[in-house]
Amino acid sequence: METIDCIKSRASVRSFRPDDIQDTAVDEMIDAAMQAPCAGNIQEWKFVVVRNNANKKGLAKAAFEQKMISDAPVVIVVCADMKEIGNAYGERGENVFSIQDAATAAENLMLAAWDKGIGSCWIGSFNEKAVKDVLVLPSHVRPMTIIPLGYPVTKPKKPRRKHPGDVVHRDFY
């Protein structure tokens, strides 16, 4: 798929077919995530690939019963190692870069998935402590987004975007 077509046609998918996703496809999505830009090339991102049903259920519960997490054949949790980025960039590394780096990686991952016909949804609403407990994350590793992945039941409808005139400023705000 052309890059711009992939970007423009991607939309959140919240209903998945039960069909499995091959490990090779998961590896390719993570490789794409790892090509994203990141602060100082520190690459403090960590990816937890979840296939285990009990863990998926635990993540769905931690995300206030967002059922698409337990329905998805594969869930990838994008995390940040706060020690790695903090050691490199101090407070700004911990407070800003960790989030931005996880976001660039997650977006690449979702676009690579979509390029393969695999749908996904960015889940940001969750209890961090509960996610850490389910995945047994070390205390310095922070979960940033939960991404359920699967083949869509139906073609997702893209929600309308604002008009560029409402969000673009030229030269000065």
Ligand X SMILES: Cc1cc2nc3c(=O)[nH]c(=O)nc-3n(C[C@H](O)[C@H](O)[C@H](O)COP(=O)(O)O)c2cc1C
Asked if residue 60 lies in contact with residue 123, where contact means CB atoms within 8 angstroms, the answer is no
Q: Which residues contact 117 (CB under 8 A, 6 or more apart)?
A: 151
Q: Which of residues 5-24 bind ligand X (CB under 6 A)?
A: 11-12, 14
Among 74, 123, 134, 137, the residue binding ligand X under the rule CB under 6 A is 123
Provide the phi-psi class of 80: left if phi over 0, else alpha when psi is between -120 and 50, else beta. beta
Residue 158 touching ligand X (CB under 6 A) = yes
Specify the amino acid at residue 49: V
Number of residues that bind ligand X (CB under 6 A): 11
Among 39, 42, 77, 121, the residue binding ligand X under the rule CB under 6 A is 121
Residue 66 touching ligand X (CB under 6 A) = yes
| Alpha helices in 17-158, H assignment, sequence order | 23-33, 53-62, 68-71, 82-92, 98-115, 128-135
State the nearest-atom distance from the C-beta of 11 to ligand X, in Å. 4
Q: Give the CA-trace dihedral at 90, 96, 101, 103, to 10 degrees.
A: 160
Among 15, 116, 122, 153, the residue binding ligand X under the rule CB under 6 A is 122
Residue number with CB closer to ligand X (17 or 158): 158
Contact positions toward ligand X, by CB under 6 A? 11-12, 14, 66, 121-125, 158-159
